[in-house]
């Protein structure tokens, strides 16, 4: 049982055991795994004051100072990687092997990528004969992170902020707070100066709102649902702070006629079902040629049925959803798909066989859908694939872009050149060609209602920096 009844403010652990508790539920067992204390706006005030004071010195550290700090963070992170894995299994229900190899592995990747980029990043750039453009740390950054990829989303915000000389106040998800607490211990052990990083547990309605609206927070970086992101932006507007958002998605995977259909369908389903479908840029819409729809249905049904579901330490490919709230939402949308007339090829609303306890949902596939169906338009955020058919490539592009979101897209074809030609026509911040995996240098973020700004790699640095033009007098 984990008891995380402290906040981390100005380099010290502050006792908050007298506050109301928020229970953290293990989604595989439905039992209480621990609790956190519920923070308040006053706690945010204290954390922001500490971060603001620390900014005066940390913003003036040298590149080498920050490189040494990031190397120390990496070394400590590697030592605590198994602790992070165990926390992910408990709070998220992530399968243990996936939690270690992918969820925590990507956190280390962000640190290593930032170290390499910081070595050569140009914080001063000449523009013409008289002007120098300086890129300077923006100030106190409020960070609000989600529950679905907690280590990734925490590290891809903290690391560029440290690399560029900013200070932070962080509210992790109250659903998956254990990893954030361990990461705070990692930062403390690594020697992050006091006040540079501050952690306040609590709810979005209280702590998140206080961070978003705080006048001394220069920027808020938020990852979560589009609805919550809109609320954050509205609260931030009064103080005209920078708003950096990574929000929802309904990502299409366009399988062109020249693609290997069996390979494309199989890769799509396995990529979607990892993390129980709780991935913002997962390929949730599979677009296939109409004359191959019957073949696609057969392949998809067979592949989905082969996905193993079970306890995170059982070796199963897919674990539970993160909470009962999430499960009930996903099940309601599955039922909506059935009610609206889509053909259910696999899965459904019944619990997976033999799993009477835990927030499990079957890998589910729908076909014979129309553009106006709820399951086609809404982000489900669960293990649910929607198959759509198209007549021509132009039709496929139209269907792919027929969404309020634009986070990611996937294109599969006989050649990369053919896939790239279609990728150029899709309105999305990231397009993966022919089964390509993640790239730590690829900017992560989206078009339209999927957010503003980018994370990952060198480009992420720019979103944490302010721009100053230093203009010299023209020579006589």
Catalytic residues: 246, 280
| Torsions phi, psi for 144 (to 5 deg) | -125, 115
The Cα 382–Cα 329 span in angstroms is 9
Radius of gyration of the chain from its Cα atoms, rounded to whole angstroms: 23
Residue 379: CB partners within 8 Å, gap ≥ 6? Answer: 225, 226, 248, 249, 250, 280, 284, 405
Q: Give me the count of residues in the chain.
A: 476
Residue with tokens 């057969």: 298
Locate the DSSP E strands across 117-240: 124-127, 131-137, 140-144, 167-171, 197-199, 219-223
DSSP character for 280? T
Structure tokens at 371: 């553009």
Which DSSP symbol is given to 276? G
Can you tell me the distance from the alpha carbon of 294 to that of 41, in angstroms, rounded to the nearest whole number?
56
Q: 199: closest CA among 55, 74, 69, 13?
A: 13
């Amino acid at each position: 049982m984990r008891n995380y009844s402290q906040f981390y403010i100005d380099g010290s652990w502050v006792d908050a055991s007298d506050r109301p508790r928020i229970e953290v539920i293990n989604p595989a067992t439905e039992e209480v795994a621990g609790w956190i204390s519920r923070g308040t706006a006053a706690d945010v005030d204290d954390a922001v004051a500490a971060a603001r004071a620390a900014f005066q010195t940390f913003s003036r550290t040298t590149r080498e100072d920050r490189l040494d700090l990031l190397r120390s963070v990496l070394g400590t992170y590697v030592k605590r990687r198994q602790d992070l894995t165990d926390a992910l299994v408990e709070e998220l229900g992530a399968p243990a092997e996936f939690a270690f190899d992918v969820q925590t592995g990507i956190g280390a990747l962000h640190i290593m990528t930032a170290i390499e980029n910081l070595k050569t990043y140009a914080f001063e750039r000449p523009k013409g004969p008289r002007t120098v453009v300086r890129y300077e740390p923006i100030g106190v950054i409020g960070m609000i992170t989600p529950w679905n990829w907690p280590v990734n989303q925490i590290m891809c915000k903290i690391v560029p902020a440290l690399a560029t000389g900013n200070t932070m106040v962080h509210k992790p998800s109250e659903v998956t707070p254990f990893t954030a607490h361990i990461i705070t211990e990692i930062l403390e052990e690594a020697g992050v100066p006091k006040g540079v990083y501050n952690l306040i547990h609590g709810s979005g309605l209280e702590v998140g709102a206080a961070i978003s609206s705080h006048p001394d927070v220069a920027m808020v970086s938020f990852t979560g649902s589009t609805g919550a992101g809109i609320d954050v932006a509205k609260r931030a507007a009064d103080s005209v702070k920078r708003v950096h958002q990574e929000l929802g998605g309904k990502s299409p995977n366009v399988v062109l006629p020249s693609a290997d259909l069996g390979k494309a369908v199989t890769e799509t389903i396995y990529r979607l079902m990892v993390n129980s479908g709780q991935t913002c840029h997962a390929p949730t819409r599979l677009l296939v040629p109409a004359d191959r729809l019957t073949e696609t249905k057969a392949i998809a049904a067979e592949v989905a049925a082969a996905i193993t579901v079970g306890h995170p330490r059982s070796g199963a490919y897919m674990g539970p959803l993160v909470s009962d709230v999430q499960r009930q939402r996903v099940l309601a949308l599955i039922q909506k798909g059935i009610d609206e007339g889509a053909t259910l090829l696999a899965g459904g609303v019944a619990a997976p066989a033999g799993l009477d306890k835990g927030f499990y949902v079957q890998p589910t596939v729908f076909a014979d859908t129309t553009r106006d169906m709820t399951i086609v338009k809404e982000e489900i955020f669960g293990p649910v694939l929607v198959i759509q058919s198209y007549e021509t490539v132009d039709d496929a592009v139209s269907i792919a872009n027929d969404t309020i979101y634009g986070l990611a897209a996937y294109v599969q074809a006989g050649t990369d050149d053919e896939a790239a030609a279609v990728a150029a026509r899709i309105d999305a911040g990231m397009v993966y060609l022919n089964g390509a995996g993640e790239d730590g240098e690829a900017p992560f973020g989206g078009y339209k209602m999927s957010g503003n700004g980018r994370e990952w790699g060198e480009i992420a640095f720019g979103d944490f920096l302010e721009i100053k033009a230093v203009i010299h007098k023209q020579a006589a």
